[in-house]
């Protein structure tokens, strides 16, 4: 909670300061518990839906994808593109263009997304607030509001929905300063599924006619 330096605001702040501290502590504790729960999984497989919406601009875009994660490695299918991270390099395969881009993890930071960062992204650069609780498809979902510490951030706030039974992430909502709302919802989650040893191995011979951008 940010201090607003007027008399009435200070009185209001002092009245709720203790409650604010408790809810922030509870929010941080829940996020840490979820992070530890997910980090203990050997593998994760899940589908996701992604909705971008700006009602003022009459824009609504809906897409979906799937992810397999093991430790830092992952295989992502999204918008017709396959992206594989084998622990050293990121391989982005675009069948529509018959093109493959190969980058290191550092080079690929802005090129793709790293789903493994979903576990720890909240630990730096955010303040926390306990938010609403909803029942969605019979599941209790507790939302935590994440407020960027950087005042110049384009993101107004995030809402992270936690399944309170499984202690997993169910939904991530981002609201930016221009009113655009993006919603990532996780579904069909499978935990600790046995994967083939070469599941995250990229074999360039499978793409004989593709252009390699290395």
Model confidence pLDDT, tens digit, residues 92-142: 999 999 999 999 876 545 444 555 566 566 777 888 899 999 999 999 999
Report whether 212 contacts 94 (CB < 8 A).
Answer: no
Which residues span the domain enclosing 47? Answer: 22-213
17, part of any domain? no
**What pLDDT, on a 0 to 100 scale, did the predictor assign at position 209?**
92
Comparison of pLDDT for 114 and 35, the residue scoring more: 35
**What pLDDT, on a 0 to 100 scale, did the predictor assign at position 152?**
64
164, part of any domain? yes
Report whether 188 contacts 48 (CB < 8 A).
Answer: no
Report whether 176 contacts 154 (CB < 8 A).
Answer: yes
The total domain count for the chain is 1
Q: Taking all residues of the chain, what is their mean pLDDT, rounded to a whole number? A: 81
3, part of any domain? no
Rg (CA), the chain: 20
114, part of any domain? yes
pLDDT tens for residues 166-190? 998 899 898 998 889 989 898 999 9
142, part of any domain? yes
Q: Please give the full DSSP string across the chain, using - where no structure is assigned.
A: -----SHHHHHHHHHHHHHHHHHHHHHHHHHHHHHHHHHT-S-EEEEEEEEEEETTTTEEEEEEEEEEEETTEEEEEETTEEEEE-SSEEEEEETTTTEEEEEETTTTTTTS--GGGGGTGGGSSEEEEEEEEEEETTEEEEEEEEEES-TT-SEEEEEEEEETTTTEEEEEEEEETTS-EEEEEEEEEEES----TTTT---GGG-TTPEEE-
Cα separations in angstroms, 28 against 126, 145, 146? 10, 10, 10
End-to-end CA distance of the chain: 47
**What pLDDT, on a 0 to 100 scale, did the predictor assign at position 107?**
59
**What pLDDT, on a 0 to 100 scale, did the predictor assign at position 196?**
93
Whether the predicted pLDDT of 201 surpasses 70? yes
8, part of any domain? no
10, part of any domain? no
Whether the predicted pLDDT of 11 surpasses 90? no
Q: Which two tokens stand for residue 161?
A: 């929905």
**What pLDDT, on a 0 to 100 scale, did the predictor assign at position 62?**
93
What percent of the chain stands above pLDDT 90? 39
Report whether 1 contacts 17 (CB < 8 A).
Answer: yes
4, part of any domain? no
**What pLDDT, on a 0 to 100 scale, did the predictor assign at position 118?**
60
Average pLDDT over residues 38-46: 88
Count of beta carbons in the 10 Å neighbourhood of residue 11: 10
**What pLDDT, on a 0 to 100 scale, did the predictor assign at position 120?**
65
> For residue 134, what is the domain's CATH number?
2.50.20.10
pLDDT tens for residues 48-80? 898 999 988 889 999 898 889 888 888 989 889
Average pLDDT over residues 193-211: 93
């Amino acid at each position: 909670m940010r201090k607003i330096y007027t008399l009435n605001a200070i009185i209001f702040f002092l009245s709720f300061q203790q409650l604010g501290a408790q809810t922030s502590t509870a929010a941080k504790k829940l996020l840490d518990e979820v992070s530890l729960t997910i980090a203990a999984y050997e593998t994760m497989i899940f589908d996701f839906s992604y909705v971008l919406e700006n009602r003022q601009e009459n824009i609504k875009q809906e897409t979906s994808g799937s992810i397999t994660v093991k430790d830092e490695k992952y295989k992502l299918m999204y918008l017709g593109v396959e992206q594989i991270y084998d622990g050293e390099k990121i391989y982005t395969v675009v069948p529509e263009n018959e093109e493959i881009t190969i980058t290191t993890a550092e080079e690929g930071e802005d090129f793709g997304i790293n789903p493994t960062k979903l576990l720890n992204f909240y630990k730096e650069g955010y303040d926390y607030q306990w938010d609403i609780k909803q029942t969605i498809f019979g599941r209790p979902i507790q939302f935590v509001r994440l407020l960027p510490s950087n005042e110049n951030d384009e993101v107004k706030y995030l809402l992270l929905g936690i399944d309170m039974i499984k202690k997993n992430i169910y939904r991530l909502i981002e609201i930016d300063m221009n009113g655009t709302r993006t919603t990532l919802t996780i579904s069909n989650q499978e935990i600790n599924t046995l994967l083939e040893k070469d599941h995250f191995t990229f074999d360039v011979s499978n793409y004989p006619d593709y252009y390699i951008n290395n």
